[in-house]
Amino acid sequence: MPATNSQLIAGVCIILSLCQLLAPSSAEETAPKQILILASYHPGLAWEDNIISEIKFRFAMKMPAAQIRTEYMDTKRVAMDEKRREDLKEHYRQKYGGEHLDLIISVDTDAFNFLREDRDDIFSKVPVVFCGVVHFDNEIKNQLDDFTGVLEAYDVEDTIALMLNLHPLTKHIFIVNDMTATGRSARIVFDEIIPRYSKNVSFEFLENLTANELTEKVAALPDESLILLMTFNRDRAGTYLTYIDAVQLLHQATEAPIYSIYDFYMGYGIVGGKLVSSYFQGDEAAELAFRVLRGEDADEIPIVDEIANEYVFDYYELQRLKIPLKALPANSVIKNMPFQPHSSLVSENLSNQDLHGQNLSQSDMQRSNLRNSDLSYAILDHSNLSNCRMENASLIFADLEETDLRGSNLYGANLSGAKLIAANIIGANLSQANFTGAALSQARMSMSELNSTILNDTSLEATNLSYSIMNGATFENAYMRRSSLRNSSLINASLCGASLVGANLINADLTQADLSRSDVSEARISNANLPFARATDANMIFTNLSGANLSHADLSRSDLMASMLVGANLTDTNLSWTNMQDAYVYGARLVGANLTGSDLNGIHLNDSDLANANFKEADLTEASLGGSNLFGTDLTNARLVSADLTQANLKNSSMTNARFMNARLNWAQLDNSRFIRCQFSRAELFGASMTDCDLSRSDFTRSYINQANLSGSKLTETMLDSADLSSANLSRTDLRGVTLRANNMDHTNFAGANLNEAAIMSISCEGLILHDALLMSAEITKSTLKDADFSGSDLREADINLVSLENCSFRGCDMRRVDLRNSSIMGCDFSGANIEGIKYDQISLNILARSSLEGARIDKNLENDLAQTRALIAKNENGLSG
C-alpha cells in the first residue's frame, strides 16, 4: 500500500528527531578535552585519592568524553629540592612538550607552587584550576595568570574553640605538624590564631621531629593536654608516614584526646573537629574546571575561599573520653554510630548509654534495658520499645510518634517536650515521669500507672487514659479535648487550667482533685467520684455530671449553665457565685450546699433535697423547685420571681427580703419560717401551709392565699391588698395594724387572730370567721359581711362604719364603745355581748331593737332608747296590721 503524504511527513519528522537526539550535545563533546591532573603526592594517599576520585566522577557525569591523565609529583616521599624540581620539569617537558592540553588541575600545595613558577616553561599558557592549597596571600594572587581554584580553607580556630569547649580544664595544646609545604603553610595560619588563645592555654608545636622523638614526646604529655594533628607525613629523618601511620602513632602513645581538621584521619583515632572535606575540594575544582573548559577566562572566575566544613566526630572516641553527645555543636555528624534506623536491639542492655539525638527510627528494641539512658532528642518513631526498662531515662524532646511502649517501665523518666502522638503506651508504668510540654494526642495510655506523673502543658487530645491510675498526677494547662479518662483514678490529681472539652470521665475517681479554671464543658462526668474536689472558676457548660458525687467539693464561681446534675450528690458542696442557668438537677442531693449569689435562672431542681442549703442572694428566677426539700434553707435576699415551688418543703427556712413575685408556692410547706420583708405580689399560695411563720412587712398584694394555713403566723405590717384569702386559715395570726382592703375573704378564718387597730375595708364576703379575735380599735368600713362570726371577739372601741352586717354573730363579744353609726346590722345576734357605751344612730338603734340581745350587757341610755324604739315599732306594726 503506497504511503500517504501525511505519513511521509511524519516519517521525516521522526528521522530528524532521532538525528537530533543522537548528535553530540555540544561542540565541546565533538573534540574531547585534554585534562592533566597534577597531584602533589602519590597514589594511595587518602586525601589526594579522594580529591582525584571526585574530580573524575564529576567529569564522568558531565563531560564523559574528556581525556584525563594524572601525574604524581611524590613530594611526600621525595623531598622537593632544586634537583628534584629540575628532574620533574624535564620529565614533563619531554612527555607533554608537543601535547595539546585544555586544562591542568593541580592538587595540593606542591603542585600549585610548581605550576605557578614553571607552567609557562612546560605547558605554555594552559589554564590552571587548583585545589588543596592551604595558604594564599594577595602577593601570590596578583602574580597568577590564568589561574583559579579552591582554597583548603580549614577552620583551625573553630576547632581550637571546640576542643576547649569539650575539655574546659585544658592547659596545653600540642600541635603535631611536619615540615612539608602543607605543614609550613599550616604554621603560617597558626601563627595568626594562637595569640588569641594563649592567655589561658599554652601551645607547643611538635614539628621537625623523628617519629620516635614524637612518640616519646607524646607519651610524656602533662595532664590536661590535647593534641591537634595537622600533617605528619615525613619526619625529620625523611621517613615517610601515611596519614594512618601518623594518627596511630599518636593514639598508641597517649590517651590524650586527638583532634584534627582533616577528614582522612576520621576513624583512626581522632575525636573529631571541624573537618575539611577532600570530596568537597574535588567537587568544587571540577565545577571550576567545567566553567574554564566552556570558555570562561580563569582569571575572571573568583577563587573559592569559603567552604562549608562540618563538625565530625568518632562515636567510639566520644565514648572513650566520656564526651556526651549533647555537648557537641548542633548538626554534628557522628561517625561509627552503632545505632541506626531499623536497628535490631531486642533485649539489649543499653542502660546508662548516651543515645542523645540518635536516629533509631523504626527500630526493634523490645525488652531492652534503657535505664538511666540519655535518649534526649533521639528519633524513635515507629519503633518497638514494648516491655522495655526505661526507669529514669531521659527522653527530652525525643520523637516517639506511633512508638510501641506497651508494658514498658518509664518510672521517673523525663519525657519533657517529647513527641508521642498516637504512641501505644497501654499498660505502661509512667509514675513519677515528667511529660511537661509533650505531645500525646491520640496516644493509647489505658490501664497505665501515672501516679504523681507530671503532664503539665501537654497535648492529650483524643488520648485514651481510661482505666489508668493517675493519683497525684498533674495535668495543669494540659490540652485534653475529647480524651477518655473513663474509670480512671485521679485522686488528688491537679487538672488546673486543663481543657477537657468533650472528655469522657464517666466513673472516674477524682476525689480531692483540682479542676480549678479547667474547661470541662460538654464533658461526660456522670457517676464520677469528686468528693472534696476543687473546681473553682471552671467552665462546665453542658457538662453531664448526673449521678456524680460532688459532696464537699468547691465549685464556686464556675459556669454550670445547662449542665446535667440529675441525681448528683452535692452535699455540702460550695456552689456559691456559680452560673447554673437552665441546669438540670432533678432528684439531686444538695443538703447543706452553698449556693450564695448563684445565678440559678430556670434551674430544674425538682424533687431535689436542698435541706439547710444556703441560697443567700441567689437568683432563682423561673426556677423549678416543685417537690423539692428546702427545709431549713437560707433564702435571704434570694430572687424567686416566677419560680415554681409547688409542694416544696420550706419549713424552718429563712427568707428575709426574698422576692417571690408571681411565684407558685401551691401546697408548699412553709411552716415555722421567716419571711420578713418578702415580696409575694401575685404569688400563688393555694393550700400552702405557713403556720407559725414570721411574715411581717411582707407584701402579699393580689396574691392567692386561698385555703392556705397561716395560723399562728405574724403578719404585722404586711400588705395584703386585694389578696385572695378565701377559706384561708389565719387563726391566731398577728395582724395588728394591717389593712385588709378589697380582699376575697369568703370563709376566711381569723379565729383568735389579733386584729387590733387593723383596717378592714372594701370587703364583701360571706362566712368570715372572727370568733375570739382581737379587734380592739379596729376599723371596719365600707364592707358587706354576711354570716360573719364575731362571737367572743374583743371589739372594744372598734369603728364599724358604712358596713352591712347581715346575719352576723356577736355572741359574747365585748363591744364596749363600738361605733355602729352609719352601719346596718340586720339579723345579727348580740346575745351575751357587752354593748355598753356603743355609739349608734337611729338606723342602728332600730335594727338593734329587732336583734337578739338576750343576756347582753346594755347601759341605761341604750336600754331606754331601745324601750322607746321597741314601743314605737310595736305601735307601727299594730297600726299596719289594723
Partner 1 sequence: MKRICIALAAMLLAMTHLTNALATEYSHEKLADLINSNEDTRMDAQDLAFLLVTHNFDATPKGDHVEVKIGNSVYSLMPNANKPGLAEIMPQ
Interface mask (CB under 8 A) for partner 1, residues 780-799, using x and -?
--xxx---------------
Q: Does 746 bind partner 1 (CB under 8 A)?
A: no
Q: Does 657 bind partner 1 (CB under 8 A)?
A: yes
Choose, by CB under 8 A, the member of 421, 641, 693, 738 that binds partner 1.
641
Choose, by CB under 8 A, the member of 846, 857, 859, 870 that binds partner 1.
846
To partner 1, the closest distance from the beta carbon of 485 in angstroms equals 38
To partner 1, the closest distance from the beta carbon of 641 in angstroms equals 6
Choose, by CB under 8 A, the member of 387, 822, 831, 852 that binds partner 1.
822
Q: Return the DSSP state at 634.
A: B
- Span of 81-89, 155-163, 581-589, 679-687 interacting with partner 1 by CB under 8 A: 679-687
The type of residue at 720 is: L
- Span of 172-180, 287-295, 383-391, 676-684 interacting with partner 1 by CB under 8 A: 676-684
Q: Does 679 bind partner 1 (CB under 8 A)?
A: yes
The residues, ordered by sequence, that sit 6+ positions from 430 with a Cβ below 8 Å of its Cβ are: 410, 411, 413, 445, 448, 449, 450, 453
Q: Does 621 bind partner 1 (CB under 8 A)?
A: yes
To partner 1, the closest distance from the beta carbon of 815 in angstroms equals 20
- Backbone angles phi and psi of 148, in degrees to 5: -150, 170
- Span of 151-159, 382-390, 395-403, 656-664 interacting with partner 1 by CB under 8 A: 656-664
Q: Decide: 832 and 853 in contact? Cβ < 8 Å.
A: no
Pick the closer one to partner 1 by CB: 462 or 845.
Answer: 845
Residue with cell 594563649: 198
Choose, by CB under 8 A, the member of 639, 651, 664, 771 that binds partner 1.
639
Exposed/middle/buried for 44, CB within 10 Å: 0-12, 13-18, 19+? exposed
β partners of residue 803 = 783
Give how far the C-alpha of residue 327 lies from the chain's centroid of Cα atoms, to the nearest Å.
32
**Cβ-count burial 858-879 (b if 16+ within 10 Å, e if not):** beeebeebbeebeeeeeeeeee
Joined grid coordinates for residue 289: 574546571
Interface mask (CB under 8 A) for partner 1, residues 693-732, using x and -?
------x-xx------------------xx----------
Joined grid coordinates for residue 495: 487538672
Pick the closer one to partner 1 by CB: 392 or 722.
Answer: 722
Q: Decide: 730 and 711 in contact? Cβ < 8 Å.
A: yes
Choose, by CB under 8 A, the member of 319, 362, 372, 762 that binds partner 1.
762
Nearest-angstrom CA–CA distance, 17 and 408: 66
To partner 1, the closest distance from the beta carbon of 752 in angstroms equals 28
| Helix (H/G/I), strand (E/B), else coil: 741 | strand
Q: Angle between the 181-193 and 109-123 helix axes, to the nearest 10 degrees?
A: 130
Q: Angle between the 46-62 and 278-293 helix axes, to the nearest 10 degrees?
A: 40
To partner 1, the closest distance from the beta carbon of 704 in angstroms equals 12
To partner 1, the closest distance from the beta carbon of 828 in angstroms equals 14
The residues, ordered by sequence, that sit 6+ positions from 290 with a Cβ below 8 Å of its Cβ are: 58, 62, 63
Choose, by CB under 8 A, the member of 281, 448, 681, 729 that binds partner 1.
681
Q: Is the CA virtual torsion 202, 208, 210, 213 positive or negative?
A: negative
Choose, by CB under 8 A, the member of 661, 725, 755, 769 that binds partner 1.
661
| Helix (H/G/I), strand (E/B), else coil: 318 | helix
- Specify whether the backbone of 118 is left (phi greater than 0), alpha (psi in -120 to 50) or beta: alpha
To partner 1, the closest distance from the beta carbon of 782 in angstroms equals 5
To partner 1, the closest distance from the beta carbon of 452 in angstroms equals 46
Residue with cell 387563726: 731
- Span of 327-335, 450-458, 664-672, 674-682 interacting with partner 1 by CB under 8 A: 674-682
Choose, by CB under 8 A, the member of 741, 747, 771, 796 that binds partner 1.
741
Joined grid coordinates for residue 143: 602574580
To partner 1, the closest distance from the beta carbon of 599 in angstroms equals 9
To partner 1, the closest distance from the beta carbon of 738 in angstroms equals 15
Site for partner 1, residues 121 to 140, rule: CB under 8 A: none
Q: Decide: 570 and 552 in contact? Cβ < 8 Å.
A: no
To partner 1, the closest distance from the beta carbon of 824 in angstroms equals 5
Q: Decide: 553 and 571 in contact? Cβ < 8 Å.
A: no
Choose, by CB under 8 A, the member of 94, 347, 842, 868 that binds partner 1.
842
Q: Decide: 92 and 115 in contact? Cβ < 8 Å.
A: no
The type of residue at 457 is: D
Which secondary structure element, helix H or strand E, spans residue 346, and what is its range?
none
Pick the closer one to partner 1 by CB: 34 or 637.
Answer: 637
Q: Alpha-carbon Rg of the chain, whole angstroms?
A: 55
Choose, by CB under 8 A, the member of 78, 161, 742, 759 that binds partner 1.
742
Pick the closer one to partner 1 by CB: 215 or 801.
Answer: 801
Choose, by CB under 8 A, the member of 242, 319, 362, 824 that binds partner 1.
824
Site for partner 1, residues 796 to 815, rule: CB under 8 A: 802-804
Q: Does 387 bind partner 1 (CB under 8 A)?
A: no
Binding site for partner 1 (CB under 8 A): 619, 621, 637, 639, 641, 657, 659, 661-662, 679, 681-682, 699, 701-702, 721-722, 741-742, 762, 782-784, 802-804, 822-824, 842-843, 846, 876
